[in-house]
Structures are given as C-alpha cells and as structure tokens.
Amino acid sequence: MLLAVDVGNTNVVFALFDGREIKSRWRVATDPRRTADEYAVWLLQLMQLQGFDPKTVDQILIATVVPRALHNLQVLSQKYFGREALIAGEPPVEWGFSADVDQPRSLGADRAVNAIAAHARYPGDLIVVDFGTATTFDVIDYMGAYKGGIIAPGINLSLDALVNAAAKLPRIAIEPPTRTRSVIGRNTEDQMHIGVFWGYVALMEGLIARMRAEIARPAKVIATGGLAVLFGDHTDIFDHVDADLTLDGLAILAERVAAN
C-alpha cells in the first residue's frame, strides 16, 4: 500500500492507497515544528482505529510546499514505517513533463502533481484551479506540458486580511449570501458575504475567461481543493470538480516509480 503525504501551507493530508483507490485519509494542521513522534502518535492510532496495519505500507511518497516540514516526515517514515520516503520532484520521482516557463525549478510540488493527474484524467488543454492557502490557476496543454498560470490570494487569506484590518467588521463564514439573487446587501454581514463570495466568483470567471482567450483553443477547467465543491455549485465555469486531484497525482507518480 502507498501512504501519500500532501504537505500544504495550511494542512498536511495523509492518504492510504491500495493501487489507485484511496482507502482512507487523515488531515492535520501544518506545523513545521511537529516532530516525527508527534505525527506517529496521531497517525498510527488513526490507522489502527480504522483497521489498517502500518506494516502493510510498502511505499511512502511526500509532496511538500513547506520545506521545513520535510525532515520530520522523513524521520516518521524511517522510524515508524521502516521506509525511506520518496520525495515528489526529486530522483527517482521525476515529474515527467515539460515545464514551459521561465523558472521551471520554482514550480510548486502541488501544482506539478495536479498537472500530472489532470493530464492523465482529462484530454485536451486544461486549466486547473486549486483552492488552497493561495488559489492557483494552471495551464496544461494537450501534450501534458505545463505552460504557466496565476497565483491569487486564497479566499480565507483575503477574508482574514479584511477582518484584521477593519476593526468593526465581523468574522463571517465563507458561504453564499442568503439572498443569492441580490448583490446589494442590506446589512454589514450580507454586504461582506456578497463581496467575499460573489467577488471571488467574479475573480475566477474573469481570470478564466482571459486565460481561455489567450490559449485560443477549447480548454476544460478542473477545480480541486477544499472549496471547489462550494464554488462549483454556484458557477458554471468548471467542467469538472475533482477533490482528489492532488492525491491521485501522487498515486500516479508512485506507480511510475514502482514500474521502473
């Protein structure tokens, strides 16, 4: 079995795969100071509670955008699973696609893994929108080459900045306004919901329209990340909502390594 570890700026997701099937997943807040022993106390208990024997894990693959978190995860792999963790993007786990950008080495592991999974699952030119700490928009052409993209502040980050900078504004949940047909708010909270939610929908629709015009060929839009489902219900800009795109990309990489 494969233990795939996706380390984002906000959360670390552990997913247990049997082939390409996700058997279970567990999520914890990202903290580079968390030790291998702390990870083990939490993760091994959760695995055992769901009937999974850690001894069945014969491959561990880590993709991280938080370099400081990597060492303790490598120690976790060695000490508690008896395995050397593979690191996505480092030999022997090569990306296997062309990065047609000015600085290919600066491409984040999460975006590279998304590109691999998206090209494997969907034909043609693609735009992948990933809702995380930042919201990223990535273009993958019909040959699987990464062509570039956009980085925008994530919606939670934008809301935090607004609330922290404006003393009288309340903390609100990220959800559609209750009066979904109106964009003229009648009170402070409604106005904030409209600005945050529909403002973000407008940002996505506007940027994707510009990207499609620049690509100049039909391009499918794939949404992934925690808020993909929420936004997917309130815009027709997405062709597919694929919550497991990043994890599936890690499973594809692990299969390639095992086959070689």
Q: Which residues are catalytic?
A: 110
Beta bridge partners of 11: 29
- Alpha carbons 231 and 243: distance in angstroms, whole number: 12
- Alpha carbons 227 and 130: distance in angstroms, whole number: 9
Q: What share of the chain is helix, strand, coil (3-state, %, to 5)?
A: 40, 25, 35
- Alpha carbons 151 and 133: distance in angstroms, whole number: 10
Q: Which one-letter amino acid corresponds to residue 100?
A: D
Strands (E), the chain: 2-7, 11-18, 21-29, 59-64, 86-87, 125-131, 134-140, 146-153, 219-225, 240-241
- Alpha carbons 57 and 47: distance in angstroms, whole number: 11
Q: What's CA 4's distance to the chain center, in Å?
A: 13
- Alpha carbons 215 and 207: distance in angstroms, whole number: 12
What's the start-to-end Cα distance of the chain, in Å?
Answer: 17
